[in-house]
Amino acid sequence: MTDPAASSTKPRVLSCMQPTGDVHLGNYLGALQPWVAGQHRNDAFHGIVDLHALTVTDKPGVVGQAAVELAAMFFAVGLDPDVATVFVQSHVPEHNQLGWVMECTISFGELSRMTQFKDKSAKREQDFISGGLFTYPALQAADILLYDTNQVPVGDDQRQHIEITRDAALRFNHRFGETFVLPEAVTPAAGARVMSLQDPSSKMSKSDDSDAGCVYLTDDPKAVMKKFKRAVTDSETGPDSVRFDREIKPGVSNLLEIHAAVTDRTPQAVSEEFEQYGALKVATGEAVLAVLDPIRERYNELMEDRGELARLLKIGAERARGVAAATLERAYTNIGMLPA
């Protein structure tokens, strides 16, 4: 097996996903599909960020199982372990170490402005809101900066976290000298913000109130078709009613964008093929299933061989540590920490 991290001149790409429940179509179109598409032209690192999942974990035995399932999904969608480095965040302790440095580099005010914290803490109003939920973007900044990352392929909802990472890198470099590469967010042309099929004004999310609005990659085909057939649209009729206009027609536009993302076209091009919502819903469900069917099969196969998954994750962690340890060392040296 070659070591892709060893002497690559390709752009360094890093992106991660939380092992908190099943992967949905928004995760796939906003992140996984672009990761797979980019793995050959980039030097790609993809993390299963189990430490981030601890912000909302309060039961034993859940995170590890979710991490191995997410690893199987990363490989099932097509990440090639010979090409991309796939690792579990807690296997690379430099994330915690640089995470603390980042907490001391990002201000309380900056963390307070994070919309994801405001949304998530509002949703958990009656629940336990951990300090980690608040400081989470500092750990995310560490995830990114540890790998000298040039590009972070993410969905739209992560843009603010990449911005705060850039600000942290700039501040650190200003205080302690050139240390970190400035990363930029990259979002896909179609699929950067997949909306709920039941409420197209809110993004598709694991914490959706209704399961009917969220398509999971492991849903059985009947369930997927049912969700698409029941997708909320609007009451307009006529041959021109199928058109892409996110403001005025959020439900229809969401279907067009999903369809476009799985068939590698533009939403406008897809809209020209349809005159009725019913036909659009069925065709979109079928186009999505054409992509999900083989993924589901590979996922089930991979989950049969835990030993192989563990082996691949061990190799990934070793490669990741090779890069992360050097960056942490550079940061400590530039700060002027007393060597151990």
Tell me, by CB under 6 A, how many residues bind ligand TYM. Answer: 26
CB atoms within 10 A of CB 63: 20
Nearest approach, Cβ of residue 214 and ligand TYM (Å): 9
CB-based contact 1:35 (threshold 8 Å): no
Tell which one of 166, 193, 259, 281 touches ligand TYM (CB under 6 A). Answer: 193
Q: Which of 12, 52, 281, 319 binds ligand TYM (CB under 6 A)?
A: 52
Say whether residue 280 binds ligand TYM (CB under 6 A). Answer: no
Closest CA to 54 of 154, 106, 130, 122: 130
Q: Which of 4, 18, 114, 244 binds ligand TYM (CB under 6 A)?
A: 18
> Which residue minimizes CB distance to ligand TYM?
30
Residue 9 has what DSSP assignment? -
Provide the minimum distance between the beta carbon of 32 and ligand TYM in the complex, in angstroms, as a whole number.
8
206 catalytic, yes or no? yes
Give the shortest CB-231-to-ligand TYM separation in angstroms: 14
Rounded to 10°, the helix 115-123/159-176 angle is 130
With respect to ligand TYM, which residue has the nearer C-beta, 192 or 287?
A: 192
* Residue 120 among the catalytic residues: yes
Exposed e or buried b per residue across 222-250, where buried means at least 16 C-beta atoms within 10 angstroms of its C-beta: eebbebbeebbbeeeeeeebbbbeeeebb
C-alpha angle with apex 267: 227 to 200, nearest 5 degrees? 40
- Footprint of ligand TYM on residues 100-119 (CB under 6 A)? none
Q: Rule CB under 6 A: say whether 192 interacts with ligand TYM.
A: yes
Structural tokens at position 95 = 């994330």
Task: Please give the distance of CA 169 from its chain centroid, rounded to a whole number.
Answer: 21
Q: Judged by CB under 6 A, does residue 49 bind ligand TYM?
A: yes
Q: Which of 10, 118, 123, 206 is catalytic?
A: 206
Nearest-approach distance from CB 257 to ligand TYM, in angstroms: 10
The reply on whether position 79 binds ligand TYM by CB under 6 A is no
From candidates 39, 135, 158, 233, binder to ligand TYM by CB under 6 A: 158
123 is known as an active-site residue: no
> Residue 208 or residue 241: which is nearer to ligand TYM going by CB?
208
Catalytic residue among 118, 120, 226, 229: 120
Given 203, 227, 249, 281, which residue is catalytic? 203
Cα 64 versus chain centre, distance: 18
Burial of 134 (0-12, 13-18, 19+ CB in 10 A): middle
- Alpha-carbon distance of 120 to 52, in angstroms, equals 13
Other C-beta atoms lying within 10 Å of the C-beta of residue 59: 6
Q: Confirm or reject binding of residue 50 to ligand TYM (CB under 6 A).
A: no
The contact set with ligand TYM (CB under 6 A) reads 14-18, 26-27, 29-31, 49, 52, 140, 143-144, 152, 154-155, 157-158, 161, 192-194, 203-204
